Structure formats: C-alpha cells, structure tokens
Chain A
Amino acid sequence: MSSVVLVLITGLGVGALYFLVASGLSLIYGLMNVLNFAHGAFIALGALIGWEVAEHTDAASWWSFLLSLVVGAVVGAAFAAFTELVLIRPLYQRHIEQVLVTVGLSFAAIALFDGIWGQDLHSVKGPAWLDEVTVVAGAHIANIFWVLIVAAVLVLGGLSLFLRKTRYGKIIRAGVENRAMVTALGIDVRRAFTLVFSIGGAAAGLGGVLAMHYMTGVTPEIGSSLLIFAFIVIIIGGTESLVGTAVASVIVAVLQQFANTYLWGTGDFIAIVLLPIVLLLRPSGLFGKRA
C-alpha cells in the first residue's frame, strides 16, 4: 500500500515537472506549428542561472529559493522571446526551417553553456525542509515533490486564468484553432507568438530550477533529458487544452514510476515506446491536424 502511494505521489511530482516543460511546448506548437527543440536550452539556462543565484545567496534560505525560481523564470522568458524574435519570426510560415533553427540553437546554446559552466554536475543544497520527508499513508515522500506539485498547480491555474480572461489569452486560444482568421480580424498574431514563446520559456526556466533542486544538481544537459518526455506528453495530451497536457503529464510520469518500481526499472523505455504507439494509433492526430 505505502509503496503504491509513494509511486503515485512521486509520479505526480515528476508529472508536475513534465507539465512545466510541456505546457510551453504545447502552446507553441498549437499556435505556431513549431516543435521547439530549443526548449531544452531554455530549461538548462533557467536551471544554471538559478544555480548561480543559489551560489551567490544563502542557498539554504527560502527567500533564496524563491529568488532563484523567479530569476530562472525571467531568464527563460527572455531567452525564449529572443529566440522567437530573432530566429523564428524571419522564417514565418516555413515550419521545417523553424524546427531546424531550434535544433541548431539547442546544439549551439548547450555547447556555450558547457563552455561557461563545464559539463560537471554543479550540486545545490536548498532549504533543508526539501530533503526531509512527510509520511503519507506509510509512504515517505520527500518534500521536494510537494513543491513540484504546488508549482505546477499554480502555473496551470495562472495560465488557465490568463487564457480565459485576458484579450491575449483569447487571441492565443483563437489562434490555436485558426490562425489565419485571427489575422483577418485585424489582429497582429505575431505578438501573440512572442508572448507564447515567453510564457513557454518562463515555465521552462521555472521547471529547470525545480528540476535542479529535485536532482540536487545541474549540468547543461538537464533540459535534453526532460525534453523527450515533454514531447511524449504533448503527443499524448494533444495541444487543444492545458488540462489535457496536465493529465497527460501525470499519466506518463505515474506510468514511468510504476514501471520503474514494479517492472524492473523499465519506466523510461515504456514512456518512450508510448510515443510511436500513440502516433501510430492516431496517425492524423496531433501532428497531422493541419497537414
């Protein structure tokens, strides 16, 4: 019993991480048809700058932890906005070139991060409470998982409010459905592109800092491993709604944790194999919708 609870809650926590990364990817793909391979670089930069913040402040204090989250999100957003304005926008409507550019950016950026920070693990020690455990139904849950879950719920709530209540949110929802018609109403949809990239970058940067605390350290590779699971999440969850992304994140992560615990550590395999299976079952699904 307690091990099932453990798997469920850790799965929920890892799913929260996936959601933070996948929410931005999903919005970007839904609105712009760009599968953003540079998202891993956004995560890495957020995490590395978050590490710098922790290094230069009292990492064990809560205010330092919060500051690193805020700085990570801001840096992720700025990097993403730069990417959209400088690299994506000039290639308007040329989707394959846009994908290739994000591949190249990820390649170059991670090499640059290697140059600045090196490839070794930079460890971090956050507030002591994160390492402690809370006992739920006999399961010992590390407190970092609660933080991950709370952060993801806050981001999900905030993004949903933004999409429902603000004009830009409505433009984004309308644009995901029919971008051409949005422009035919006299709306410059490209501003929404920059915005969506920034939001995605902020969530990725935040996710990066949290992933660093979860793994108690960071290397420039931190984003690449998360990215493939985020791809799986958006393929399963589709790009139609954020709630769909959230549900898919939890399904993938819980499945992964279950397989890791009960099926001889095959969680990663199973999660990755889900990707071709889902795509084959719905060949015209997510990625074929505008083919």
Chain B
Amino acid sequence: MSAATPILEVEHLSASIAGQQVVEDVSFTVPRSGVTALLGRNGVGKTSTLRGILGLIQRRGIVKFAGERIDTMQTYRIVQKGIGYVPEEREVFSKLSVAENLELAERQKNPHREFVARLFPDLVQRRDQQAGTLSGGQQQMVSVARALLNDNQLLLVDEPTKGLAPKIVNEVADALAAASKTVPILLVEQNLEVVRRLADRVVVIVGGRVAHVGDAAATLDDADLVRRLLGVHVGDSAHGGIAPARNAGEGAEGGQHA
C-alpha cells in the first residue's frame, strides 16, 4: 500500500437520524499517519460524521477505507476491517466488569494487553469492578483502552477529554499521543489545547460542510480564521470555550426507535 492513498476517504457523506438530516455532503480524507482533527461548532455534525462512517446511523455517499468502499457495510464488518472507535459518551457497559468490557473489545489472537496495562495501570487494579461504578475519567480510559487492544489501521476518537479533570485530560492525551505513533487517528475534540498538542491536520465543518482543511498549528495560530470558523477566541479557556451557537442534533443520537 502506498503512503499516498489516504486511509479514509469520505466523499459527499450525508447522514440522518430518525429521518432528520444531520450531516450534509461532507468530503475529506484522513492520511495514513498522524492525527487529523475534525473541528466545528456544537451541533455541526462531527459526532454524526463519525457515526455515519461507522454505519451507526443512516448514511449516503461514498466512504472508502484503505481504498475499499465501506459505505454499505454493516458496522461490525467495518470495525473488523481495522477501525477502533472511542464514542463521545464513552459507552462502557456499566453492568459488566472492567475486564469483561476489555475482553469483548478484543478482536485478535494477541491483543495488546501489556501496552494498555502500561498506559492505564488504574484499570488493572480495578479489573473486577463494575464499569458503571467507575469515575468518568476511568470510564474514558476503558473506552480508549478498548480501541487500543487491537491492531487497528484507524482510530475514530470522539471528544475524549469532554468533562474530565485537567489531570485526566493529560493522561488521556498522553495515551492518544502514544497510540498515534503507530496508528492514524481521526479526532473530534473541542479542547483546542489538546488539538494543538495532538493534531497534525485539521478539517473544519461549518453548516454541515467542510469549510477549511489545513495544517493544525498554522490554522490554530490564525486567530481570525479560528474565530470565523469556530466562533471562539484562541486561548479563551482551557476547554476551548466554544460558543454554544447551535445545540440541535447531536444530543439526540441513538438511531433506535422504541
């Protein structure tokens, strides 16, 4: 495989939840190395883009993974191709133990248990604890660990630092930095400090479409651009301080009907 072809190509992707369009005609690519950050204001459809790529919600358009079309595949097949997913709300199985949560995520003969144990020694200690009784940060570690157990070719990581204490934010960012040495990551993140630290490239969505693609540092250094695209002043606050301009869409996800 040539390094030139991107690991993920998204062309004209639209996605909907319960008949409501949440992503409209989004196109971008993710290269075979480094971290690509997907940015945009609240409710712009970043989470839905990730879920659409994975087929967790209704989608149309072309999605290629390592050159292969995956846009009509079922979610579990897409994941089996080599994608790890860290969802926005962590989504650990609260009634299962930490060990069981990790076990279910193992897809290969020799999962990277030692690597994960080194990254998150906390989880080793708590392996028999019910995941629902963990703190938010620990749950996020379980969620990230699930994605790092396998030899993936791409990680989709959604808001990994949301709602976490600064110390834990660093810990999670460290883990992602370590992972990004071996696997490309598509990252959705509101905390621009974390983006600055991890990301090589940024893709910015405005009004459901890609408005800007560029080098991460150069983009974040351009205060005018950031304000125009994201509606924030760089360095506003530790958590990016993004204006809650729109808050439709993303909260109501689930894609299931009663």
Residues on A lying within 8 angstroms of B by beta carbon are 33, 93, 95, 167, 170-171, 173-174, 177-189, 240, 287-288, 290-291
Contact = CB atoms under 8 A, between A and B. Distances in A.
A167 B100 CA distance: 9
A183 B104 contact: no
A177 B258 contact: no
A173 B76 contact: no
Given A185-B104, A290-B257, 11 more contacts: A173-B96, A178-B93, A181-B87, A181-B91, A181-B93, A183-B75, A184-B54, A185-B146, A186-B76, A186-B107, A187-B104
Contacts of A183: 56, 74-76, 79
B104 A184 contact: no
**B interface, over-half SS:** loop
Contact of A171 (B94, B104, B254): B104
Contacts of A170: 96, 100, 103-104
Contacts of A287: 258
A177 B94 contact: yes
A282 to B, nearest CB: 15
Nearest to A288: B258
A185 B108 CA distance: 12
B102 to A, nearest CB: 10
Nearest to A289: B258
B85 interface: yes
Interface in B134-149: 146
Given A177-B93, A178-B91, A184 B79 contact: yes
B95 interface: yes
Max chain A Cβ within 10 angstroms of own Cβ: one of B74, B76, B103, B257: B76
Given A185-B104, A185-B146, A180 B255 contact: yes
Contact of A174 (B74, B75, B104, B254): B104
B74 to A, nearest CB: 7
A188 B76 contact: yes
A79 B234 CA distance: 63
B47 to A, nearest CB: 13
Nearest to A176: B95
Contacts of A33: 256, 258
A184 B53 CA distance: 11
Nearest to B100: A170
Question: Which of A181, A182, A186: most chain B Cβ within 10 A?
Answer: A186
B96 to A, nearest CB: 6
Given A93-B256, A177-B93, A182 B104 contact: yes
Contacts of B79: 183-186
A281 to B, nearest CB: 19
Given A170-B104, A173-B95, A177-B95, A186 B80 contact: yes
Nearest to B83: A186
Interface string B92-128: 0111100011011101000000000000000000000
B256 A290 contact: yes
Interface in B42-82: 54, 56, 74-76, 79-80
B257 A93 contact: yes
A33 B255 CA distance: 14
A95 B257 contact: yes
B201 to A, nearest CB: 24
A182 B256 CA distance: 14
26 contacts: A33-B256, A95-B257, A167-B103, A167-B104, A170-B100, A171-B104, A173-B93, A173-B95, A174-B93, A174-B100, A177-B93, A177-B96, A179-B256, A180-B56, A180-B75, A181-B87, A181-B91, A182-B104, A185-B79, A185-B105, A185-B146, A186-B80, A188-B74, A287-B258, A288-B258, A290-B256
